[in-house]
Amino acid sequence: MDAPGIDEWERALTELLLMIGEGGDASPIRSFEVGFEELGKALKIAGRMADGDPINLFKASVCNDATFDVLRSGGALRPPGSDVPGVFAYLVLTLVVAGQAGEDLSLSGAYRAKLSDFSGAARSFADLSGVHRMWLGLERWLEQKKNLGLPYRQLVLPKIPEGWNHIGYTLKLAFPARWDETLLTRFLAGKRELIGDVRRFTAEFAPHVERASASSGMRDAFDEFRSAFTSGDRFLADHRFWRLALRCTGRDSRARDSASIECAFDEDARPVFTAVRFD
């Protein structure tokens, strides 16, 4: 199969990741997981049969000199009347590179080296400031679409350290990366019972995530999950960090079992829910 054109990818990825789809998920976007499965879904949306590796097909479409110039200078977003932003396929490229990494990419030069390896381009990618500008533009574009009452999701750009003004947003938004899944799988090896005790899980994982060179996206997702749990939120089954934790133990957060839910209150008058599953 010939690789789809970049416009086909732009349209399919916009529908898959930026719009409110059949599942009705209208929640704000705080991270993107873009890998083999997601690119395969995009191919189906584009009406293409995925008879090759979707990642390689995507790479064949977007890794060229024109794209590299856009990463340096930034691409022009289309008017809010358009149904695609016009720059999202380029931003997805940066996310795919981050997501495929097997190590922390926040070290100086690490991301640029991975981009060079992934694309096969013999260049340094010293200037990627266009990526930063395109994320800011996409955030505004999606807000304009929502204000028009159209079925697009809000993008919540994370806080980034001072000086991360090239690929900082990409490193924060690319969660979970392959490195995150490896790190969490190793942590849970031999202690899968932690999944049944969230309080203990968060207490034991907190120092580990600091010592283990977790990605910026992993730290943000875990801190967000721990903060929500500590404040009393017990409806976290679909949280992005918890979905990853379940996946790392071979469980599926989308699985449904017959169960009863019991509610009691702790000494601080906070609700405590207990699920009893019927096998």
**Dist. CA 201–CA 194, nearest whole Å:** 5
Would you state the structure tokens that stand for residue 215, as one six-digit string?
């990605």
**pLDDT tens digits, 92-101:** 999 999 988 7
> What average pLDDT does range 241-257 have in this prediction?
72
Is there a single domain that holds both residue 128 and residue 26? yes
> What average pLDDT does range 157-166 have in this prediction?
92
Residue 1: the pLDDT is: 62
At 179, the pLDDT band (50, 70, 90 cuts) reads: confident
Is there a single domain that holds both residue 52 and residue 190? no
Q: Domain count for the chain, please give it.
A: 2
In the predicted model, is pLDDT for residue 277 greater than 80?
Answer: no
Residue type, 104: D
In the predicted model, is pLDDT for residue 256 greater than 50?
Answer: no
Is there a single domain that holds both residue 75 and residue 163? yes
> Is 220:159 a contact under the CB 8 Å cutoff?
no
Considering the chain, what is the average pLDDT of its residues?
86
Is there a single domain that holds both residue 79 and residue 160? yes
> What average pLDDT does range 205-230 have in this prediction?
85
86: left (phi over 0), alpha (psi -120 to 50) or beta: left
Residue 24: the pLDDT is: 76
Is there a single domain that holds both residue 143 and residue 220? no
> What average pLDDT does range 220-230 have in this prediction?
92
| DSSP 3-state percent helix, strand, coil across the chain (nearest 5) | 50, 5, 40
Would you state the structure tokens that stand for residue 186, as one six-digit string?
């190793």
Considering the domain boundaries, does residue 59 fall inside one? yes
In the predicted model, is pLDDT for residue 233 greater than 90?
Answer: no
- Helices assigned H by DSSP within 63-122: 65-73, 88-100, 110-119
Residue type, 159: K
At 258, the pLDDT band (50, 70, 90 cuts) reads: very low
- Which of 173, 188, 213 is the last residue before a domain boundary? 173
Cβ neighbours around 88 below 10 Å, total? 23
Residue 253: the pLDDT is: 45
- Which of 121, 154, 173 is the last residue before a domain boundary? 173
At 8, the pLDDT band (50, 70, 90 cuts) reads: very high
In the predicted model, is pLDDT for residue 250 greater than 70?
Answer: yes
Q: Identify the helix (H) or strand (E) that includes residue 47.
A: none
Is there a single domain that holds both residue 30 and residue 167? yes
Considering the domain boundaries, does residue 165 fall inside one? yes
Is there a single domain that holds both residue 14 and residue 125? yes
Look at residues 4, 42, 2 and name the one whose alpha carbon lies nearest to residue 21: 42
In the predicted model, is pLDDT for residue 276 greater than 70?
Answer: no
Considering the domain boundaries, does residue 263 fall inside one? no
Is there a single domain that holds both residue 205 and residue 158? no
Considering the domain boundaries, does residue 78 fall inside one? yes
Is there a single domain that holds both residue 156 and residue 199? no
Q: Calculate what percentage of the chain has a pLDDT beyond 90.
A: 58
Is there a single domain that holds both residue 109 and residue 195? no
Considering the domain boundaries, does residue 262 fall inside one? no
Is there a single domain that holds both residue 144 and residue 231? no
Domain carrying residue 48: 6-173
Residue type, 98: A
Is there a single domain that holds both residue 115 and residue 66? yes
- Helices assigned H by DSSP within 164-253: 168-173, 178-188, 198-211, 216-230, 240-248
Entry pTM: 0.82
In the predicted model, is pLDDT for residue 40 greater than 90?
Answer: yes
**pLDDT tens digits, 61-79:** 999 999 999 999 999 999 9
Residue type, 20: I
- Which of 173, 202, 232 is the last residue before a domain boundary? 173
Considering the domain boundaries, does residue 43 fall inside one? yes
At 207, the pLDDT band (50, 70, 90 cuts) reads: confident
Considering the domain boundaries, does residue 38 fall inside one? yes
**pLDDT tens digits, 106-126:** 777 889 999 999 999 988 899
Considering the domain boundaries, does residue 169 fall inside one? yes
Cβ neighbours around 273 below 10 Å, total? 10
